[in-house]
Chain A
Amino acid sequence: MSEFKKKYYISHEEKACETNCTCSDLPSVEDAKLTAGFTRRSFLKTSGFSFAAFMVACSKTPVQKAIPFLIQPEEVLPGKAIWYASTSFACDAGCAVHVKNRDGRPIKLEGNPNHPMTQGGLCAQCQASLIELYDSKRILVPQLNGNKSDWKTVDKTVVKHLRKVRDAGKEIIILTGTVNSPSLLHTIKKFKKKFKTVSHVHIDDYSYSAILDAHEKNYGQRILPKYRFDKADFIVSIDADFLGSWVSPIQFTKDFQKNRKLDSKQISKLIQVESRMSITGAKADERIAMTPTEMKSFMSDLDAIIQGEMGTNPHAKKLAKMLKHHRGNSLVISGINDIKIQLIVNRINQNLGNVGRTLDIKKPSRLFAGSDSSIHSLIAKIESGMVGALMISGTNPVYILPKGEQFASSMGKVDLCISFSDMQNETTANCNVIAPGLHDLESWNDAEQTTGILSMTQPVIRPFGENRSLRQSLSTWMGLKKDERDLVRNYWKKVFTSRVKSGKTFTRFWNELVHDGFSTISSKRKLLTRFKDQQVKIDTRQKNELELVLFQSSQMGHGRHAENPWLQELPDPITKLTWDNVASFSPKTAGAYHLEKGDLIEIISGKIKIKLPVFIQPGQKNNTVAAALGYGRKGTERFHEIGPNWLEKKDTVKKGETVGSSVSSMILFDENFQYGGLPVTIEKTGKTWDLALTQTYNTLTNPEKTSPASMPVRPFIQETTFNKIQKNPTAGSHHGHPITTLWEDDHTYEGHHWGMAVDLSSCTGCSSCIVGCQVENNVPVVGKDEVLRKRDMAWLRMDRYYSGDGENVDVSFQAMMCQHCDNAPCEPVCPVLATVHSSEGLNQQIYNRCVGTRFCANNCPYKVRRFNWFDYAHDDVMENMVLNPDVTVRSRGVMEKCSMCVQRIQEAKFEAKRLRVPLKDGDIKLACEQSCPADAIAFGDLNDPESRISKMTQSGRHYKVLEELNVEPTVGYLTNVRNRDADEGKGEHHG
């Protein structure tokens, strides 16, 4: 213990550092292991709740060491956060971030509001990627044939091999996820020059190849257009979950909202055609459920009708009419990775004259470059033994490819397989060399996600291990020794004149680039040919009994973050499911097959069988079964231990089992990766499976057996349509009878009066706010069993309610956190004054005063209080470094809840005091508010009439949940507005 006690610093704040503030005294992985035994003690240390000191105090004074810097760097001040602009590539799109760095440790990622793409939004994956930096299971030294090694030997062997391969005339293949880093592409180019037989293959976790190929056929360039949802007035999305997981959801959400301003004359209209229930489908103004095969015929009909030919499909007729009406400012997109469909999509957009207006092919997106055909040929090459060396970076082919095992075995044919992953995964297992790469927060990097916009990534902490970026490894093997920074910087120095048209000096440009995190650069225009129409024949004859639909969930993607506990416990926005993937059926289909929720079934296609628990999903298309990709990853066995340990504990996963099960093998891989439409059969196993759902009652309609006549539906979600709101700004928002009270108001807020509002019609339910809150406030991960027992700890939950029935279902989201009531029911009942009202309208929970009677939680009408049932694990010293030192880590037996990020409020006040200026509206941004890509959450001072929050509160759409109880919540909601004709209002809540 003692030696790691010395190293361990989180509790005493001034910590020893070398001159540059990347801490030498961070505990090494060994320490983390070493402490594994000392759960209780290490908890005391790390929790920041220095009980130990407390106990000792009775007898003698505890000695706390304070260790100053030896030589203190100017900008670094212990206890003061420093922010760095950077870019995180945790999600496929990559989010521009500001990294909060406290005492040398990055502890929070926040969206970079100035960045033209993500515009301050931040996805759940990027938020949560933070904890992967502190993952004690990372590979921190290079490995040779499965044993730890050092760079010297590794480099030697690799180079020797590569030379051998080159001389043998065999191929060296660099297999990466899409690389849009100019400097890295440059390095690879040089690498090709050095070792002649090199070829670089892109493979995307989730393939968009068809779109690019279609554009190649139509416009002569393999590009992914830049979609302009901010310009489109009428959007038809066929199975493209662009608000949740398709291409660049955060950017799209931001853009989409721009054209949904309810105060304007008109807003865009979104029609979603899909089989499963997606976030986009939930948000859609109209949603049409179709099976994948139906979609194909629908598409050809739609196309036909727009061209003025005959079409039978009624939906197609209707939509075609609307699309024609919105010529030039409509947008048709499709997530179906099938070149035929994409050719049709292109033709439709071309015919409607949308190209160049709602979708930009001149300055295309560079997010995805993967080509399915080249993967075909790659596999062929490897099979045939033409490949002498295979370098795999930023992808996990053995897992994501349908025939992963086959790929793995064929990797055996390659004498040198190098993986650059810093985590063990399915692929590294088959590589003889592991040259571990860097986490985004440790590395220098650049990216041109969209043509003309350069995003920058800079390290905010010194690498934990000896890891090297792919860039550096390659250049080392080419024989040029340069450090990470120079490799990137020198490239830009070289191309500065050609690519950056500006009067600035390079140094100035570079400093601004690193400071802002992005810069605009020029790019040579793609020479596009005129639209060359392609004839496509779609056979609409086929009819399937049951079709499989595979999709990426917004939090888990294609499994890259499977070992991230925050994402595993983040409830799926739609299903509210944690720690599992499921086979979901529509209620009707489930009935037809006599399936109950939780039945364990086998999905069978040919020889392939996959075990999945059944889930009943309202709104899903009948005769389809939907399952999420990205589960069943190797490495998730680690979660066997997670969660508090006690007699009746059920393990999150059984020993040696993975979280969920992989459905990659069900991806149909003909000319493209087909994620939908695979005909399958199912078989019951007779077994059942526990599904850890955070919400088990799914509608606002009372169960009819116990439903009182006076209130069949509960009025918590209040919604209306755009036309109604045009006529009457208060449409849809119902207010209870005015309450007369005997008591005079005992809270007079002379200073500030903090309040919050959530705009339900902006909120897409993407749930990145939940992760944001979790990271900011040290909310623990509790494991599947605790979630099953309804003891999830998230302070902010995303309530999801269905209305309507069958395939025709509306989904409404409601972010629910402590409502900070002015007449809070929790306050009078606490016997020890552990929860009291602040002079600024906050409902404060004082952990160290709480004795844990739970009366407050019982008496809370919103049930937003969370109790620490156990001492939640804080024994991984590495992981504990992610804790926010400004927020107490709650011990067992105390109540906790949303504090409206009081630490941020305080910090902002202190800063204002230092600068001798009053607080401005927007100075304080809460963790949830900050990360919201839809800007649905607003926080501010209700006493300031000019503040955004005051304006929202004045709005006619503003209402409060349970206002009739006279608890006077300071958190309000704005009605959910859908852009649909009133008569279409199907499942509108209490119409």
Chain B
Amino acid sequence: MANQISVREPQIHGNKNHADVTQDVCNIMDRKPTWLWWLGFGLALSALALGLVSVSYQIATGIGTWGLNKTVGWAFDITNFVFWVGIGHAGTLISAILFLFRQKWRTSINRSAEAMTIFAVICAGLFPIIHMGRPWLAYWMFPYPNFRGPLWINFRSPLAWDVFAIGTYLIISATFWYFGMIPDLATVRDRAKSKLKKFFFGVLSLGWNGSFRVWHRYETVYALLAGLAAPLVVSVHTVVSFDFATSAIPGWHTTTFPPYFVAGAVFSGFAMVLTLMIIARKTLQLEDYITLNHIENMTKVIILTGGIVTLSYATEFFMAWYSGNGYEQFVFLNRALGPFAWAYWIMVGCNLITPQFFWFRSIRRNVVLVFILSIFVNIGMWFERFVIIVTSLHRDFLPSSWSMYTPTWVEIGTLIGSFGLFFTLFLLFIRTMPMISMGEVKSVLHYRGNGDNQNG
């Protein structure tokens, strides 16, 4: 061992052995929640409460309680929707695609990333429903046999595609997440003291017994599921982008949207994972598992996707100019110089400038900076959707109906509420489920990345 030269630092620090891993991860669930957790949970809950109040008031009174008007029919609602769907992307990317690419470093973050995905998609899924004028009829969005002739849904409508895209995504990623968790659930079950806990995790772990055969089957199915989930990463946001791409409104009617949106989604998704992981590793003392390497890797992804996003912005302007279409050109001039220019420049600032910092290793490995920058990316990406939706609508073809948009407190409350829901779910998750995939982490213990894997 003395003559052992380490080429790279290990995936997991602090010379953990299997027992330690189990110990460290399960501890998070076993020990009493820290005051920090309570604080976070309190904040999240109150945000959620605000959201509930806003939404129920809106549903009871009418969409009129939002700042929308006859010209701007969507604003915060769909902005939030696209934003959350975007957030949801990192999870599957990390767990499925990186798995297929055998990226070992994913192991310690994939579990929580997937959880994040699911919660984000739940948040996203709410908005298409509450943005309806008559949400109690939301079930009409599904094709089901009926006595109306029968009357089906409009399969040409991007909104109908959304229903399926989001639905599929939620189901697959939930399955994938749960399935990946089974071995760990079994571990928790075996360690559980209270009867209730034993029963609960017993049911969840589907009678896992850790035998070779079970492990073998498990690995196969996991790989298969990963293969199944991978294309969704691309498909979902592509479909979401169709909501705009298939429309007739200048600024929406853009063929570059699918790649543009997917890149943006991964961009924002990774930013969110960073935000969460950095908090988690600090508050839950997981520095050994979520190392600077992980953070650095993720920032690299951000540089790449950020680059694509930048390119997309440029392309839009180029296409507007190149098309020679006056309305198209107007919309983009109006974005940069019109009444909503401030939003546009926030977007540019956050999404174009921020990633550039990550070219510097020092910054990539500076947790505090990365944290702040990741937040900026999140803000920027939210504004990207806002800019696309609102500035395209508020001044479209006929000047007679041009108008402005200002949000009401109800909309702001709803936005905050969605964050509340997201964090509430996530905080509950880290208390009740193994937030790091023990099984997989164990497999990369002492793994030094250069292939020679020796157990010490």
Q: How far is the CB of B80 from chain A (nearest CB, A)?
A: 15
Q: Could you jot down 30 A-B contacts, CB within 8 Å?
A: A647-B409, A697-B395, A697-B402, A706-B334, A710-B326, A710-B329, A711-B326, A829-B158, A829-B159, A829-B247, A830-B159, A831-B159, A831-B160, A832-B140, A849-B140, A850-B133, A850-B134, A852-B132, A852-B133, A853-B131, A853-B133, A854-B74, A855-B74, A858-B249, A858-B393, A862-B397, A867-B63, A892-B134, A893-B62, A967-B248
Instruction: Indicate if B194 sits at the interface (CB-CB under 8 A).
Output: no
Binds A, one of B148-156, B172-180, B226-234: B148-156
Query: Are A867 and B400 touching (Cβ within 8 A)?
Result: no
Q: How far is the CB of A234 from chain B (nearest CB, A)?
A: 33
Instruction: Indicate if B439 sits at the interface (CB-CB under 8 A).
Output: no
Query: Are B249 and A859 touching (Cβ within 8 A)?
Result: yes
B327 to A, closest residue via Cβ: A711
A826 to B, closest residue via Cβ: B248
Q: Which of A714, A829, A870 contacts B399, CB < 8 Å?
A: A714
Query: Are A867 and B73 touching (Cβ within 8 A)?
Result: yes
| Interface size, A (range) | 35 or more
Query: Are A644 and B64 touching (Cβ within 8 A)?
Result: yes
Query: Are A829 and B70 touching (Cβ within 8 A)?
Result: no
Q: How far is the CB of B45 from chain A (nearest CB, A)?
A: 24
- Which chain B positions have C-beta within 8 A of A674? none
- Which chain B positions have C-beta within 8 A of A37? none
- Which chain B positions have C-beta within 8 A of A867? 63, 68, 70, 73, 133
Instruction: Indicate if B14 sits at the interface (CB-CB under 8 A).
Output: no
Report the Cα distance A801→B398, complex, angstroms: 11
Given A799-B398, A831-B141, A870-B61, check contact A696 B70 (CB 8 Å).
no
**Best-surrounded residue of A646, A790, A831, A866 (most CB of chain B within 10 A):** A831
- Which chain B positions have C-beta within 8 A of A852? 63, 132-134
Which residues 132-169 of B have a CB within 8 angstroms of A? 132-135, 137-138, 140-141, 151-154, 156-160, 163
- Which chain B positions have C-beta within 8 A of A706? 330, 333-334, 337-338
- Which chain A positions have C-beta within 8 A of B329? 708-711
Instruction: Indicate if A797 sits at the interface (CB-CB under 8 A).
Output: yes
Q: Which of A702, A716, A791, A894 contacts B70, CB < 8 Å?
A: A791
Q: How far is the CB of A743 from chain B (nearest CB, A)?
A: 13
Report the Cα distance A711→B325, complex, angstroms: 8
B57 to A, closest residue via Cβ: A647
- Which chain B positions have C-beta within 8 A of A892? 62, 133-134
Query: Are A965 and B73 touching (Cβ within 8 A)?
Result: no
B323 to A, closest residue via Cβ: A710
**Best-surrounded residue of B326, B398, B401, B409 (most CB of chain A within 10 A):** B398
Number of cross-chain contacts by CB at 8 Å = 194
- Which chain B positions have C-beta within 8 A of A205? none
B151 to A, closest residue via Cβ: A833
Query: Are A859 and B330 touching (Cβ within 8 A)?
Result: no
Report the Cα distance A850→B133, complex, angstroms: 8
Query: Are A851 and B133 touching (Cβ within 8 A)?
Result: yes
Given A893-B132, A965-B248, check contact A816 B400 (CB 8 Å).
yes
Instruction: Indicate if B456 sits at the interface (CB-CB under 8 A).
Output: no
Known: A716-B398, A854-B63, A869-B64. 16 other contacts (CB 8 A): A646-B65, A647-B409, A706-B330, A706-B337, A710-B325, A714-B398, A789-B67, A791-B64, A801-B399, A825-B248, A832-B141, A853-B133, A854-B133, A867-B63, A892-B133, A893-B133
Contact residues of A with B, CB < 8 Å?
644, 646-648, 695-700, 702-703, 705-711, 714, 716, 786, 789-792, 797, 799-801, 814, 816, 825, 828-833, 849-855, 857-859, 861-863, 865-871, 892-895, 961-962, 965, 967
B392 to A, closest residue via Cβ: A858
- Which chain A positions have C-beta within 8 A of B401? 695, 790, 862-863
Query: Are A644 and B62 touching (Cβ within 8 A)?
Result: yes
Q: How far is the CB of A833 from chain B (nearest CB, A)?
A: 5
Instruction: Indicate if B69 sits at the interface (CB-CB under 8 A).
Output: yes
Report the Cα distance A277→B61, complex, angstroms: 41
Report the Cα distance A159→B249, complex, angstroms: 72
Report the Cα distance A866→B401, complex, angstroms: 12
- Which chain A positions have C-beta within 8 A of B69? 789-791
B148 to A, closest residue via Cβ: A849
Q: How far is the CB of A251 from chain B (nearest CB, A)?
A: 30
Query: Are B64 and A863 touching (Cβ within 8 A)?
Result: no
Instruction: Indicate if B312 sits at the interface (CB-CB under 8 A).
Output: no
Q: How far is the CB of A773 from chain B (nearest CB, A)?
A: 16
Query: Are A853 and B132 touching (Cβ within 8 A)?
Result: yes
Query: Are B398 and A862 touching (Cβ within 8 A)?
Result: yes
Q: How far is the CB of B209 from chain A (nearest CB, A)?
A: 47
- Which chain B positions have C-beta within 8 A of A696? 402-403
Contact residues of B with A, CB < 8 Å?
57, 61-65, 67-71, 73-74, 128, 131-135, 137-138, 140-141, 151-154, 156-160, 163, 243, 246-249, 324-327, 329-330, 333-334, 337-338, 393, 395-403, 408-410
B58 to A, closest residue via Cβ: A646
- Which chain A positions have C-beta within 8 A of B61? 646, 870
Given A859-B247, A859-B248, check contact A851 B400 (CB 8 Å).
no
Report the Cα distance A905→B57, complex, angstroms: 40
A836 to B, closest residue via Cβ: B154
- Which chain A positions have C-beta within 8 A of B327? 711
Given A706-B337, A790-B70, A892-B62, check contact A797 B397 (CB 8 Å).
no
**Best-surrounded residue of B137, B246, B408 (most CB of chain A within 10 A):** B137
- Which chain A positions have C-beta within 8 A of B408? 648
Report the Cα distance A961→B154, complex, angstroms: 28
Given A648-B408, A700-B399, check contact A851 B141 (CB 8 Å).
yes
Query: Are B333 and A831 touching (Cβ within 8 A)?
Result: no
Report the Cα distance A699→B408, complex, angstroms: 29
- Which chain B positions have C-beta within 8 A of A829? 157-159, 246-247
A862 to B, closest residue via Cβ: B398
Report the Cα distance A967→B395, complex, angstroms: 19
Q: How far is the CB of A510 from chain B (nearest CB, A)?
A: 50
- Which chain B positions have C-beta within 8 A of A857? 70, 73
Query: Are A831 and B163 touching (Cβ within 8 A)?
Result: yes
Q: How far is the CB of A971 from chain B (nearest CB, A)?
A: 13
- Which chain A positions have C-beta within 8 A of B246? 828-829
Report the Cα distance A703→B339, complex, angstroms: 11
A892 to B, closest residue via Cβ: B62
Given A708-B333, A962-B397, check contact A831 B134 (CB 8 Å).
no
Report the Cα distance A716→B397, complex, angstroms: 10
B128 to A, closest residue via Cβ: A853
Q: How far is the CB of B272 from chain A (nearest CB, A)?
A: 27
Q: Which of A646, A709, A790, A868 contacts B71, CB < 8 Å?
A: A790
Report the Cα distance A961→B243, complex, angstroms: 25
Report the Cα distance A648→B137, complex, angstroms: 27
Q: How far is the CB of A693 from chain B (nearest CB, A)?
A: 10
Query: Are B70 and A792 touching (Cβ within 8 A)?
Result: yes
Query: Are B62 and A869 touching (Cβ within 8 A)?
Result: yes
Query: Are A851 and B137 touching (Cβ within 8 A)?
Result: yes
**Best-surrounded residue of A855, A866, A967 (most CB of chain B within 10 A):** A855
Report the Cα distance A682→B434, complex, angstroms: 75
B138 to A, closest residue via Cβ: A851
- Which chain A positions have C-beta within 8 A of B57? 647
Query: Are B399 and A831 touching (Cβ within 8 A)?
Result: no
**Best-surrounded residue of B57, B153, B397, B408 (most CB of chain A within 10 A):** B397
A797 to B, closest residue via Cβ: B400
- Which chain B positions have C-beta within 8 A of A830? 154, 157, 159
- Which chain A positions have C-beta within 8 A of B393? 858
**Best-surrounded residue of A700, A866, A867, A895 (most CB of chain B within 10 A):** A867
Query: Are B63 and A893 touching (Cβ within 8 A)?
Result: yes
Query: Are A708 and B330 touching (Cβ within 8 A)?
Result: yes
Q: How far is the CB of A931 from chain B (nearest CB, A)?
A: 22
Q: How far is the CB of B302 from chain A (nearest CB, A)?
A: 31
